[in-house]
């Protein structure tokens, strides 16, 4: 009788969820998410929709920055491309929402690939600069192409429909986001397990060595940009549904930096990184907001102090994270799991 | 040691989670909640802090003077850092979780993004972004603000230019300086049209970078056209740079600041360059000799000794005094609901704040609160009015644009 994890063939070795214990807990978690709306308030629902969208976006960014090592500071702009593509297709062309969701991804992937071309020549900070350029060019285009995007006035988003579902209802949007977030997680995980995923990691770790062993740098870098942008596009289409009105101000560089920060907190180069980062970010933000608003209400004379406290704590937490948890929450999760696996006999 | 630290941290978070929201949950029946969604940490935070100071002081004064028919008014302030996603999250919290009766929204981007949701939620909002479209109740039935729109104030400035223009040999010339965003471009269409009608020539627009570090290029471009006046749409922090650059270039053009640019910090930040420039503003400057100012100055001196009063602070007072009036009327009518507050606002007929702002009127067809503003000049570092109330007719031509 074999003890512990014991594989007899490669098939079981490559399984994502290897033990029944993990599978049962995962099922419980997913089931919890499914029945969540029964207990949740309207406010909690709107936050969870935000969380789901951010998770999809972060998986995209994690694939590009965490796994392929290409820093992107234009992720919010790509999300904007998806948001506008989907809304224009649904509102002005009359395409069904589900088709527009796919088109938004495809269009954003295309744009992402165009801005990914410099990645052949540029690396590190220089590539970051190029993606900042993407951010500004896309923002400018949204602002000035007013025939198509409504310009600075923004654009109404036609609520998407799919059979009996209409996504201006938070409940329906929640389930759509939930399904897509799970799908995005699965897709990312499977890309990483494939040949392409290993090529991404090879490029990140030593691009020269990768090239020597036969990885086509240009192809895989572009592919990484495309997949990452596809996720951003889908997230954008959902975000448009969530916001109901979109303006260029929803997709600024500040948002791009926020997404990058979420990925770093969660752990670059870990699938769970995107999920943990987003979760941590939203919990911290809500927590600080609850604390500061209640302090504000209790002591209205010192409003400006509490606001500063909020900003300072937020910055401090991120700094502390980088110092004590440079690999992000995902790495910490691994340590905790390892600890409990052997508990109470930790030898 | 490390474990103790972790356990303490978790405990602290749990305690914060449990007790943090407590004051908000203690729902007394005689507390009326009003939301404030404002930037206290982002690019417009200087302005936001003065605004919120005025609003909170007005709240305190109202509560010390009988409240809303005996009920306590409570402002719930949420900082959105001028970011749209944070603004939207804050809105959801105020409306869905705190169940406020109405709210104040500062940033244009957030107001635009939420426009549709506000209509479907039916929550009365006071916008700080005086975009003309928000005045049309057919499109935005729940939107109010206590000032003329940006368009109307630009037209007031144009009217003032035309009426004070002495030289009969030619028409006065003007240029617009503005940032390339919703706020900056809001006035262009109607102002150009109006300028043509009353006989003011409009020169080439100058788009100023936002945030503004330097405007020399744009000002040099503008000086080729040599306008008599330049109308600045900006905020004091950015506008001060424009005025400094203009002084360095030695331009003869007279600058007129719009409401968001024309505040006390413009004078201090521009280091004297603001001297002799003009501004169009509907709110009385801090300390102006109007009957409503006494309580404002007294409160400020009592509660913030040593700090400087600003016209943004007065604007905060005006906002909350009007909210309180609407809440009182809604309460009397027995309908303290978001819809009831909208109706109460629409009952305003020349509501006077003691001269702090021009008398306000809202009807269910027309949410233009007022159509009047004054022109001020900065003399010896003080805002001095150089015109009386300049009022535009309530014509439908520029309504809701």
Q: What does the pLDDT read at residue B176?
A: 96
* Confidence category of residue B232, pLDDT binned at 50, 70, 90: very high
Global pTM reads 0.83
A250: which chain B residues are within 8 Å (Cβ-Cβ)?
Answer: 84-85, 109, 113
* Confidence category of residue A1, pLDDT binned at 50, 70, 90: low
Tens-place pLDDT, residues B240-298: 999 999 999 999 999 999 999 998 999 999 988 999 999 999 999 998 899 999 999 99
A249: which chain B residues are within 8 Å (Cβ-Cβ)?
Answer: 84, 107-109, 112-113, 181-182
The reply to whether A308 touches chain B by the CB within 8 Å rule is yes
pLDDT average, residue stretch B349-356: 92
Could you tell me which chain A residue has the CA closest to the CA of B84? Answer: A250
Decide: A185 and A275 in contact? Cβ < 8 Å: yes
* Confidence category of residue A50, pLDDT binned at 50, 70, 90: very high
Q: What does the pLDDT read at residue B15?
A: 59
Number of residues that make up chain B: 401
* Confidence category of residue B185, pLDDT binned at 50, 70, 90: confident
Provide the 8-state DSSP code for B135.
G
Give me the residue label for tokens 């390339």.
B180
Residues 6+ positions from B123 with CB-CB distance below 8 Å: B95, B100, B101, B102, B103, B142, B338
Could you tell me which chain B residue has the CA closest to the CA of A251? Answer: B84
Which of A43, A244, A296 shows the shortest C-beta gap to B92?
A43
Whether B182 and A47 lie within 8 Å, measured CB to CB: no
Give the Cα separation of B237 and B178 in Å (integer). 14
pLDDT average, residue stretch B308-314: 92
Q: What does the pLDDT read at residue A247?
A: 87
pLDDT average, residue stretch B73-85: 88
* Confidence category of residue B37, pLDDT binned at 50, 70, 90: very high
Q: What does the pLDDT read at residue B1?
A: 58
Examine the pLDDT at A102 and tell me if it is beyond 90.
yes
Q: Distance (Å) from the C-alpha of residue A223 to the closest C-alpha of chain B?
A: 29
Give the Cα separation of A290 and B83 in Å (integer). 18
Whether A47 and B89 lie within 8 Å, measured CB to CB: yes
Distance of CA A318 to the CA centre of its chain: 18
Examine the pLDDT at B331 and tell me if it is beyond 60.
yes
Q: What does the pLDDT read at residue B28?
A: 54
* Confidence category of residue A3, pLDDT binned at 50, 70, 90: low
B286 half-sphere exposure, CB direction, 13 A CA radius? 25
Q: Return left, alpha or beta for A163; rule: phi > 0 is left, psi -120 to 50 is alpha, else beta.
A: left
Residues 6+ positions from B287 with CB-CB distance below 8 Å: B293, B297, B309
pLDDT average, residue stretch B155-163: 95
pLDDT average, residue stretch A284-306: 81
Long-range CB contacts (within 8 A, 24+) of A171-174: A171/A37, A171/A45, A173/A49, A173/A238, A173/A241, A173/A242, A174/A36, A174/A37, A174/A45, A174/A48, A174/A49, A174/A52
Q: Distance (Å) from the C-alpha of residue B107 to the closest C-alpha of chain A?
A: 10
Give the Cα separation of B182 and B16 in Å (integer). 39
Whether B16 and A291 lie within 8 Å, measured CB to CB: yes
Provide the 8-state DSSP code for B71.
B
Could you tell me which chain B residue has the CA closest to the CA of A296? Answer: B77
Element (H, E) at B116: helix B108-121
B92: which chain A residues are within 8 Å (Cβ-Cβ)?
Answer: 42-43, 46-47
Q: Distance (Å) from the C-alpha of residue A248 to the closest C-alpha of chain B?
A: 8
Q: What does the pLDDT read at residue B312?
A: 93
Strand partners, B383: B378
CA dihedral B365, B73, B46, A246 (to 10 degrees): -50
DSSP codes joined into one string, A123-173 = -HHHHHHHHHHHHHHHHHHHHH-HHHH-GGG-EE-PPPEETTEETTSHHHH
Q: What does the pLDDT read at residue A31?
A: 94
B320: which chain A residues are within 8 Å (Cβ-Cβ)?
Answer: none
Tens-place pLDDT, residues A151-163: 877 888 888 888 8
Q: What does the pLDDT read at residue B20?
A: 46
Decide: A224 and A113 in contact? Cβ < 8 Å: no
* Confidence category of residue B22, pLDDT binned at 50, 70, 90: very low
Q: What does the pLDDT read at residue A41?
A: 85
Give the Cα separation of B258 and B385 in Å (integer). 15
Examine the pLDDT at B19 and tell me if it is beyond 60.
no
Whether A304 and B75 lie within 8 Å, measured CB to CB: no
CA angle A60, A65, A69 (to 5 degrees): 140
Which of A154, A244, A303 shows the shortest C-beta gap to B77?
A303
Q: What is the residue-averaged pLDDT of chain B?
A: 89
Q: Is the ipTM of this complex over 0.90?
A: no
% of chain B surpassing 90 pLDDT:
59
Domain boundaries, chain A: 41-271
Q: What does the pLDDT read at residue B11?
A: 65
Decide: A273 and A263 in contact? Cβ < 8 Å: yes
Q: What does the pLDDT read at residue A237?
A: 96
The reply to whether A289 touches chain B by the CB within 8 Å rule is yes
Q: Distance (Å) from the C-alpha of residue A300 to the closest C-alpha of chain B?
A: 7
pLDDT average, residue stretch A236-246: 92
Examine the pLDDT at B29 and tell me if it is beyond 80.
no
Q: What does the pLDDT read at residue B14?
A: 60
Cis-peptide into B211, omega within 30 deg: yes
Between A313 and A230, where is the model more confident?
Answer: A230
Q: Helix, strand, or coil here: B381?
A: coil
| Cβ contacts from A onto B, under 8 A | 122
Q: What does the pLDDT read at residue B380?
A: 92
CA angle B285, B288, B290 (to 5 degrees): 120
Whether A287 and B16 lie within 8 Å, measured CB to CB: yes
Q: What does the pLDDT read at residue A338?
A: 83
What domains lie within chain B, and their CATH numbers?
26-148+290-370 (3.40.50.2300), 150-281+374-391 (3.40.50.2300)
The CA-atom distances, in angstroms, between B173 and each of B158, B254, B326, B387 are 10, 11, 42, 20
% of chain B surpassing 70 pLDDT:
93
Give the Cα separation of A205 and A185 in Å (integer). 23
Tens-place pLDDT, residues A182-238: 999 999 999 999 999 999 999 999 999 999 999 999 999 999 999 999 999 999 999
Give the Cα separation of B211 and B81 in Å (integer). 15
Whether A249 and B181 lie within 8 Å, measured CB to CB: yes
B41: which chain A residues are within 8 Å (Cβ-Cβ)?
Answer: 307-308, 310-311
Tens-place pLDDT, residues A249-266: 889 998 999 999 999 899
The CA-atom distances, in angstroms, between A90 and each of A85, A110, A237 are 9, 19, 10
């Amino acid at each position: 009788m074999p003890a512990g994890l014991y594989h007899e063939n490669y098939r079981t070795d490559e399984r994502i969820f290897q033990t029944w214990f993990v599978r049962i807990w995962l099922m419980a978690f997913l089931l919890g998410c499914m029945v969540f709306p029964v207990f949740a308030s309207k406010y909690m629902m709107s936050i969870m929709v935000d969380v789901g969208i951010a998770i999809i976006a972060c998986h995209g960014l994690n694939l590009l920055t965490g796994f392929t090592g290409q820093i992107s500071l234009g992720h919010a702009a790509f999300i904007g491309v998806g948001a506008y593509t989907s809304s224009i297709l649904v509102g002005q062309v009359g395409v069904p929402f589900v088709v527009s969701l796919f088109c938004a991804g495809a269009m954003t992937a295309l744009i992402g690939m165009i801005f990914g071309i410099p990645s052949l020549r540029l690396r590190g900070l220089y590539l970051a600069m190029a993606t900042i350029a993407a951010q500004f060019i896309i923002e400018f285009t949204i602002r000035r192409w007013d025939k198509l995007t409504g310009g600075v006035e923004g654009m109404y988003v036609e609520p998407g429909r799919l059979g009996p579902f209409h996504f201006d209802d938070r409940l329906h949007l929640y389930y759509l986001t939930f399904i897509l977030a799970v799908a995005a997680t699965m897709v990312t995980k499977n890309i990483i397990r494939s040949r392409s995923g290993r090529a991404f990691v090879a490029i990140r770790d030593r691009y020269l060595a990768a090239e020597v062993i036969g990885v086509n740098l240009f192809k895989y870098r572009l592919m990484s940009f495309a997949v990452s942008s596809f996720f951003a596009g889908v997230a954008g289409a959902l975000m448009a549904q969530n916001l109901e009105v979109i303006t260029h101000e929803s997709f600024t560089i500040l948002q791009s930096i926020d997404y990058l920060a979420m990925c770093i907190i969660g752990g670059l180069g870990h699938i769970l990184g995107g999920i943990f980062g987003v979760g941590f970010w939203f919990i911290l933000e809500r927590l600080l907001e609850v604390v500061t608003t209640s302090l504000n209400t209790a002591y209205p004379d010192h409003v400006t102090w509490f606001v500063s406290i909020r900003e300072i704590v937020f910055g401090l937490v991120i700094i502390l994270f980088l110092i004590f948890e440079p690999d992000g929450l995902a790495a910490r999760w691994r340590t905790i799991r390892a600890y409990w696996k052997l508990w109470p006999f930790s030898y | 040691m490390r474990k103790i630290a972790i356990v303490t941290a978790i405990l602290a978070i749990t305690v914060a989670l449990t007790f943090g929201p407590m004051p908000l949950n203690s729902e007394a029946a005689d507390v009326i909640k009003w939301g404030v969604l404002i930037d206290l940490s982002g690019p417009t935070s200087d302005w936001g802090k003065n605004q919120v100071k005025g609003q909170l002081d007005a709240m305190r004064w109202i509560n010390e003077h009988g409240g809303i028919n005996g009920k306590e008014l409570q402002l719930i302030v949420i900082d959105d850092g001028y970011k749209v996603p944070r603004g939207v999250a804050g809105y959801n919290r105020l409306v869905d979780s705190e169940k406020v009766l109405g709210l104040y929204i500062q940033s244009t981007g957030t107001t635009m993004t939420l426009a549709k949701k506000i209509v479907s939620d039916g929550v009365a909002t006071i916008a700080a972004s005086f975009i003309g479209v928000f005045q049309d109740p057919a499109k935005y039935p729940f939107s109010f603000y206590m000032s003329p729109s940006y368009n109307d104030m630009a037209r007031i400035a144009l009217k003032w230019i035309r009426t004070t223009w002495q030289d009969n040999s030619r028409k006065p010339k003007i240029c617009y300086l503005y940032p390339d965003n919703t706020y900056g471009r809001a006035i262009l269409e109607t102002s150009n049209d109006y300028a043509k009608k009353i006989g003011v020539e409009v020169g080439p627009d100058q788009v100023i970078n936002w945030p503004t570090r330097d405007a020399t290029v744009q000002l040099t471009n503008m000086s080729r056209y040599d306008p008599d006046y330049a109308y600045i749409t900006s905020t004091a922090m950015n506008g001060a740079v424009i005025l400094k650059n203009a002084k360095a270039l030695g331009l003869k053009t007279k600058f007129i600041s719009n409401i968001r640019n024309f505040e006390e910090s413009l004078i201090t930040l521009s280091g004297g360059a603001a001297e002799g420039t003009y501004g169009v503003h509907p709110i009385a400057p801090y300390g102006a000799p109007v009957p409503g100012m006494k309580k404002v100055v007294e409160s400020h001196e009592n509660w913030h000794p040593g700090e400087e009063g600003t016209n943004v602070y007065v604007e905060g007072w005006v906002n909350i005094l009007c909210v309180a009036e609407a809440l009182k009327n809604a309460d009397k009518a027995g309908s303290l609901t978001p819809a009831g507050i909208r109706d109460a606002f629409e009952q305003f007929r020349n509501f006077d704040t003691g001269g702090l702002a021009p008398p306000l009127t809202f009807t269910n067809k027309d949410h233009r609160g007022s159509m009047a503003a004054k022109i001020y000049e900065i003399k010896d570092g003080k805002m001095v009015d150089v015109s009386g109330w300049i009022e535009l007719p309530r014509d439908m031509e520029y309504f809701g644009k």
